[in-house]
Amino acid sequence: MKVAVVGATGLVGTKMLEVLAERGFPVTELIPVASEKSIGKSIVFNGTSFPIVGMQEAINKNPAVAIFSAGSAVSLEWAPQFAEAGITVIDNSSAWRMDATKKLVVPEVNGDVLTAADKIIANPNCSTIQMVVVLKPLHDRYKIKRVVVSTYQSVTGTGIKAVTQLMNERIGKEGDMAYKYPIDLNAIPHIDSFLDNGYTKEEMKMTNETKKIMSDDSIKVTATCVRIPTVGGHSESVNIEFEKDFDLTDVRKLLAESPGIVLKDDVANFIYPMPLTAHDKDDTFVGRLRRDETQPNTLNCWIVSDNLRKGAATNAIQIAETLIKQGFIQ
């Protein structure tokens, strides 16, 4: 199987190559695609060197699937051209997520919506992915009415420039700033641009994408997204109001048995999810489960996942694995 990775030299693209190798994805030929300055260089994948090529050459090579992580502008221009050539595109940018004609997929949640006709498939926002993995089994059992979420997001979600800013600040070194303010010893309540309603795009992504992935516009979601000086993954404090009452023992059992979730909820032994323990893992971790004592049928929880893996690279590759399993690409 020929597989193109568009944006192969970036932070997420590099992670995609790592995850493809780790999961034993059936790559017979890798087609790494990057900007013009990288064309002609090579990437070693599974012990074999593959030359980096441009967009048109990648299309000409006719891969079965192209996994994009090169930003919205690139995806808007090139994804349709790949799709027109019969190549299935899985796109990690925000370009197609809210397009009514495109599927927005988290395999554990709604992988069953995929069809052979889907040639551009959107990978959701990282902070949305880890939340809906936990929300899905709870919604099926108790019917979610409203979600209030506050995020604590890693600098890796911004990219290598942000990681460099953080590390420079740790040692007192001057350098380029990915953020308007210092990030070390700080928390910045601002991810993506502000909208007219006072929310950021990131916050509205969580609201709108959740409804689309869960196929339920009745779920109310309100979010506050914050950047903090961590690198292992994103964390979320989530308050979930249900239509039906629940038993915490049943909730723990339900989550522990749900795909893609690892339950870490033993406060007596100081066991709860953290970015340090989620780093380089593909699962979504949930803990600090407790009843909201201020109103009925409401649960508090803490969700952590590696944003470069399940929040980006791994989810995209799981979409491709689902397509193979269903016989839609081969």
DSSP calls for 223-260 = EEEEE-S-SS-EEEEEEEEESS---HHHHHHHHHTSTT
Q: How far apart are CA 230 and CA 213, in angstroms?
A: 27
Catalytic machinery residues: 126, 234
Contact 302, 234 (CB under 8 A): no
How many beta carbons lie within 10 A of that of residue 281, not counting itself?
17
| Longest Cα separation, the chain | 61
Could you give the C-alpha distances from 234 to 22, 120, 285, 324, in angstroms and in order?
A: 22, 26, 11, 29
Q: How far apart are CA 155 and CA 229, in angstroms?
A: 6
DSSP calls for 126-152 = HHHHHHHHHHHHHHHHH-EEEEEEEEE
Tokens of 198: 């006072």
Q: How far apart are CA 92 and CA 8, in angstroms?
A: 12
Could you give the C-alpha distances from 15 to 110, 112, 256, 310, 315, in angstroms and in order?
A: 24, 26, 27, 11, 12
